Amino acid sequence: MTAPDLDPRTPVLVGVGQASERIEDPGYRRLSAVELAAEAVRVALADTGADPDAVAAAVDTVAGVRQFEISTPGAFAPLGRSDNYPRSVAGRVGANPRRAVLEVVGGQGPQHLVNEFAATIADGGCEVALLFGSEAISTAQHLAGAEDKPDFTEHAEGSLEDRGLGLRGLATRHMLMHGLVEPAGQYSLFENARRARLKMSREEYAAAMGELFAPFTTVAARNPHSAAPVERTAEELTTPTDANRLVTDPYPRYVVAREKVNQGAAVVLTSVGAAQRLGIPQERWVFLHGHADLRERGLLDRDDLSAYPAAVAATRHALEVAGIDLDDVSAVDLYSCFPIAVFALCDGLDLAPDDPRGLTLTGGLPFFGGAGNNYSMHAIAEAVHLLRARPGAYALVGANGGMLSKYSVGVYSTTPAPWRPDRSTELQAELDAVPATAHTEHADGWATIETYTVLYRKSGTRRGIVIGRLESDGTRFLANTEDGDEAMLDLLSTGEPIGARVFVRSFGFGNRVTVSRERMDELFPPRPAVLRQSYEHALVRRDGHLLEVTINRPEARNSLHPEANAELDEIFDAYFADPDLWVAILTGAGEKAFSAGNDLAYTASGKLPWVPKNGFAGLTNREHLPKPVIAAVNGYAMGGGLEIALACHLVVADETAQFALSEVKVGLIASAGGLVRLPRTVPPTVANEMILTGRRITAREALDYGLVNRVVGPGQAVEGARRLAAEILEGSPTSVRASLQVMAETRGIADTVAVVNHPTTALDELLVSEDAIEGVTAFVQKRRPQWRNR
C-alpha cells in the first residue's frame, strides 16, 4: 500500500524529538520543564523534514503529559510552574492550537495519547496534534535552596482541558494508612509474589533481576539523553553497597526507576492529508499499526499478585490489531520502572528476559531515567528513529502506569497501513467481569503471608508490609509490622516468609501483624476497660450512676485528633463495661464549641489522620451503644462534632448552639456517619441542603427538625443534660438497656408487625432480672424502686 491509496485521514507519526541536560555537564542551562518540552518540540518539528514554522502553525491540538510535581494532591513545585503547561509549550514554538489537553497521571500517558489522538485524526476530529512531556526534577531539587534559584512560574492564556489526576484505585486511604505510598513498596509486593511462585531463593531472584537489567545499562550508556549513562554488571546492580543501598526487599537503588532527570520528548502526529499538504516527506512517516489500552483492578482485588493480565492482554491485542505476531517484531521497549514490570510481560507473553532483540530502546527507567509520567514518549521517539533506519520493520512500545495498573501499547512500522480500530473497551469489560478477591480492612486472627516487603528507611529503621490471608475464611488483608518488632522483621528478611503462619490484629490506625498471639499481646497489651484518674484531652466526672465526659481542647474548639479520639474511645469502653454507670453525658470544654470535628490543623501538618475502630470520639462506628449517651451541645457542633451528636441517643443544646456538616467547605465528606444519620433524623430536604451546602442551623431550628430533644438557656447545656439524665435514672437501667437493644436490632426492619415479632434475647433476660422483680414489687408496695442493674 502506498500513500495515494490511503484515506487522507489516516494518522501518521511524522516527527519526534528529545531534549535533556545533566547538572554535572558543561553548559548546564537550568531549563524548566516548559523549556525542556519546547526544546524537544523544536527538534520534533525539524524532524518532520518540512518547514518547522509551517508545521507549528498547522497544529490544532496539543496534549501535555503531567509533571510529577502536579501529579498528586497538594504536590509542591519548588521553583514554580506554568498554570497551563500545554499552551506554555505551544506558545514557545509558535503554535496556537484550538484545543489543549493535560493528561492524567501515569506512565501509560504518552502511548495512550498517541493511541487516542491517532483515533481522533482518523475520525476527522483534528489534523495535526503535538504531544509532549518533560521533567526538570533534577534541576528543581538541585536549585530549590539556592539564593539565585530561577522562578519557573508563568501564566498562559487560553483554554485547557485538564483531565485531572486520574488516581482512582491507585492510592486508597487503606493503603496510605499502611505505608503503601511510594511505588517501590507496592512493586516489591508483586516482585516477591513472583519470586515465591517461581520457587526461587532470594539470591537466585536477585541474580535474575541483575541479568534482566544489565543489558539495559549497555543501551543507556550509548544514549546521549541518559540520566545515568553507566554500564553495570548484573552483580553490580543487585549487590547492596553504600551507593546501592537497599530501598525495599528486594530492591537496591540501582534497579529502581531514576526520577532525578531533566528530560523532554515530543511527537508530531498528523493525518496523511496534512502531511502531504505540509510537504513532509513520506520517508519520515511511521504508522501506528496496532494499539490497545487496558486497566488492571485495584491491588487487593487482584487474584494473582505476581501477574499483570491487563498488560499481557493489551499487548496481545495490539499485535492482533496490527495483524502480526510477537516474533514479527524487530524492536521492543517494555516499561521498566522495576523488574516486575518487565518480568510480568515476559511471563505472560512467553518472552525470554534475555531475548536477543533486547527489551529496551532507551536504556530503561533506572538508567536512561524515569522521566516522570513521560518516559514512554522517549521510547516512541527511539522507535521512530529505529524504524526509519529499518524500513518495513516493526517496533512495539509498552507503557505502564500506576502500580501495574494501566497499560497502553503501540505497534509501529514505516509500512503504510490504514487505521484499524481496537476492541479495548470489550476486553476491559471481560477483565472487569472476573470476580474480585475478597478482602477486609479489619483483620483479626491467625493468617498466612501471601506476599510481603520490608521498607528500609534512611534513618536505619525498617518496616514490614504484609498481604496475607485469614485462616478463618481466606479473606485477604493488608498489614504492617509494629516498630521495634524485630522477630517479625527477621521472619520477613530471611528465608521464605510467604506461606508462614502469623497473627494479625486490627486497630483504628491499621492492621498489625506479628509472629504469634502472645507476641501481639506483648506489643499491644490488652487495655482494661476501666476509667483512669486523668486524661490529656478529656475530663471525666462520676456522679453516682452518671458519667460526665468533657472534650478538653478548647483552644482547638474541641476538635479531635487521633490521640483525643483514642482517649474518648477508651473512656466509652470503660463506661459501657461499668455496671455502676448507667447514663453518660458528653460535652465540650468552654462555651464556644461542643466540637468542631476533625482537627484540620493536625491533618494539614502532614500527619496521617486515623480514628479508632469505634469511630469518631469512640462512638460513631459502634454498631450499638448499649447505654444512653446524651450530647450536651454548647456552641458549635460542626462536621464531626455534629456526627458525634447524631451518634448519641439524646441531644440537649443551649440557645447559642449551631449545627452543620461543613465538610464540603474544606473538600471532605461527612464520613463518620453524618451522611447516613442526618437524613434519617431531619427531613430529607433539610439534610440535603445541610450536606450539600454546609448550611448551619440554630438550636431552635434543630429542635423543630427533631435533631435535638431540648433547648436550654445559654451556658445551660450540661445542666439540661443532667436533668434529662436524672429522668432516665428514675427508670430501670436494665429496662433501658433492653429497650436500646431491641431498637438497635430492629432498626432496619420496616414492617411494624415484623418488628413486634422480632426474636430477641433482651426480653428473656429482662424477665429474669432482679430489676423486673423489683419494679413490679415496688409498684405493688407503692414505693420508689431500688434499681440494681441486674
Task: Write the pLDDT tens digit of every residue in 178-231.
Answer: 988 889 999 999 999 999 999 999 999 999 999 999 999 999 999 999 999 999
Q: What is the dihedral of CA 43, 47, 53, 55, to 10 degrees?
A: -120
Cis omega (within 30 of 0) for bond into 612 = no
pLDDT of 4 reads: 64
All three cell numbers of 312, joined, read: 499481557
Confidence band (pLDDT; 50, 70, 90) for 747? confident
Using CA atoms, how far residue 354 sits from 204, 210, 316, 376, 613, in Å, is 16, 11, 20, 21, 50
For residues 468 and 479, the answer to whether their CB atoms sit within 8 Å is: yes
CA 603 to chain centre: 17
Confidence band (pLDDT; 50, 70, 90) for 630? very high
Task: Write the pLDDT tens digit of every residue in 710-722.
Answer: 999 999 999 999 9
A 10 A CB-CB count for 123 gives 12
> Cell numbers 553497597 correspond to what residue?
241
Does 605 score more than 80 pLDDT?
no
All three cell numbers of 114, joined, read: 498517541
Lowest mean pLDDT among 27-36, 160-169, 242-251, 389-398: 160-169
Catalogue the E-assigned strands of 27-70.
61-64
More confident residue, 768 or 426: 426
Confidence band (pLDDT; 50, 70, 90) for 750? confident
What is the arithmetic mean of pLDDT over 327-338? 98
Residue 244: is it exposed, middle or buried by C-beta count within 10 angstroms (0-12/13-18/19+)?
Answer: middle
What is the arithmetic mean of pLDDT over 135-147? 94
What is the arithmetic mean of pLDDT over 562-582? 96
Backbone dihedral angles phi then psi of residue 363, each to the nearest 5 degrees: 125, -5
From 35, 103, 296, 643, the catalytic residue = 643
Task: Report the candidate in 678, 723, 722 with the shortest Cα–Cα distance to residue 702.
Answer: 678
All three cell numbers of 417, joined, read: 497501513
Task: Write the pLDDT tens digit of every residue in 144-159.
Answer: 999 999 999 999 999 9
Lowest mean pLDDT among 78-87, 599-608, 613-622: 599-608
Adjacent-strand bridge partners of 447: 470, 502
A 10 A CB-CB count for 87 gives 24
Domain extents in the chain: 3-144+154-175+253-433, 445-523, 538-729, 748-780
Cis omega (within 30 of 0) for bond into 250 = yes
Q: What is the dihedral of CA 99, 105, 108, 112, to 10 degrees?
A: -20
Confidence band (pLDDT; 50, 70, 90) for 7? very high
Confidence band (pLDDT; 50, 70, 90) for 168? confident
pLDDT of 142 reads: 94
pLDDT of 1 reads: 54
Confidence band (pLDDT; 50, 70, 90) for 728? very high
From 103, 283, 663, 727, the catalytic residue = 663
Task: Write the pLDDT tens digit of every residue in 389-408.
Answer: 999 999 999 999 999 999 99
SS3 content of the chain, % helix, strand, coil (to 5): 40, 20, 40
d(CA 314, CA 12): 21
d(CA 228, CA 25): 12
- Is 182 a catalytic site residue? no
Local structure of residue 323 (DSSP, 8 states): T
Lowest mean pLDDT among 513-517, 525-529, 740-744: 740-744
Confidence band (pLDDT; 50, 70, 90) for 64? very high
d(CA 243, CA 224): 23
pLDDT of 207 reads: 98
Adjacent-strand bridge partners of 410: 291, 397
Please, what CATH class does the domain formed by 3-144+154-175+253-433 belong to? alpha beta
All three cell numbers of 624, joined, read: 450499638
Does 607 score more than 80 pLDDT?
no
pLDDT of 504 reads: 98
- Vertex 80: Cα angle to 668 and 64 (nearest 5): 80
Adjacent-strand bridge partners of 465: 453, 480
What is the arithmetic mean of pLDDT over 306-321? 98
> Cell numbers 485477604 correspond to what residue?
476
pLDDT of 740 reads: 85
Local structure of residue 304 (DSSP, 8 states): -
Does 772 score more than 80 pLDDT?
no
What is the arithmetic mean of pLDDT over 478-504? 96
Give the ranges where 474-552 is alpha helix by DSSP (H): 486-493, 517-523
What is the arithmetic mean of pLDDT over 544-552? 97
Confidence band (pLDDT; 50, 70, 90) for 112? very high
Residue 69's identity, in one-letter code, is E
Task: Report the candidate in 334, 320, 265, 247 with the shortest Cα–Cα distance to residue 18.
Answer: 265
Q: What DSSP string runs through 531-568? A: --S--SSEEEEEETTEEEEEE--GGGTT-B-HHHHHHH
Q: Please determine whether the domains at 3-144+154-175+253-433 and 538-729 fall in the same fold group of CATH.
A: no
Task: Report the candidate in 615, 604, 613 with the shortest Cα–Cα distance to residue 670.
Answer: 615
Where b means 16+ CB within 10 Å and e means fewer, 130-141 reads bbbbbbbbbbbe
Task: Report the candidate in 680, 674, 647 with the shortest Cα–Cα distance to residue 660.
Answer: 674
For residues 615 and 647, the answer to whether their CB atoms sit within 8 Å is: yes
Handedness of CA 362, 364, 368, 372 (dihedral sign): positive
All three cell numbers of 29, joined, read: 542551562
| CATH 2.40.50.840 is right for the domain spanning 445-523 | yes
Which residues does 620 contact at the CB level (< 8 Å), separation at least 6?
614, 640, 643, 644, 646, 647, 672, 673
Does 300 score more than 80 pLDDT?
yes
Task: Write the pLDDT tens digit of every residue in 412-453.
Answer: 999 999 999 999 999 999 999 999 999 999 999 999 999 999
Does 606 score more than 80 pLDDT?
no
d(CA 380, CA 393): 14
Task: Write the pLDDT tens digit of every residue in 685-702.
Answer: 999 999 999 999 999 999
For residues 20 and 375, the answer to whether their CB atoms sit within 8 Å is: no
Q: What DSSP string runs through 351-386? A: --TT-TT-S-SS--TTTT---GGGHHHHHHHHHHHH
For residues 46 and 17, the answer to whether their CB atoms sit within 8 Å is: yes
Confidence band (pLDDT; 50, 70, 90) for 341? very high
Q: Average pLDDT, whole number, for the chain?
A: 94
Does 751 score more than 80 pLDDT?
no
d(CA 613, CA 669): 18
pLDDT of 761 reads: 77
What is the arithmetic mean of pLDDT over 72-92? 93
Residue 209: is it exposed, middle or buried by C-beta count within 10 angstroms (0-12/13-18/19+)?
Answer: buried
Confidence band (pLDDT; 50, 70, 90) for 269? very high
Confidence band (pLDDT; 50, 70, 90) for 93? very high
Task: Report the candidate in 479, 524, 528 with the shortest Cα–Cα distance to residue 502.
Answer: 479
CATH number of 538-729, picked from 2.40.128.120, 3.40.50.1860, 3.90.226.10, 3.30.1120.10: 3.90.226.10
d(CA 111, CA 101): 15
For residues 420 and 290, the answer to whether their CB atoms sit within 8 Å is: yes
- Is 643 a catalytic site residue? yes
Confidence band (pLDDT; 50, 70, 90) for 74? confident
d(CA 533, CA 268): 72
Using CA atoms, how far residue 707 sits from 207, 449, 649, 720, 721, in Å, is 66, 48, 11, 16, 15
Confidence band (pLDDT; 50, 70, 90) for 618? very high
DSSP H/E element including 504? strand 501-507
What is the arithmetic mean of pLDDT over 636-651? 96
Residue 606's identity, in one-letter code, is G
pLDDT of 781 reads: 84
Backbone dihedral angles phi then psi of residue 142, each to the nearest 5 degrees: -70, -35
What is the arithmetic mean of pLDDT over 122-130? 98
pLDDT of 730 reads: 92
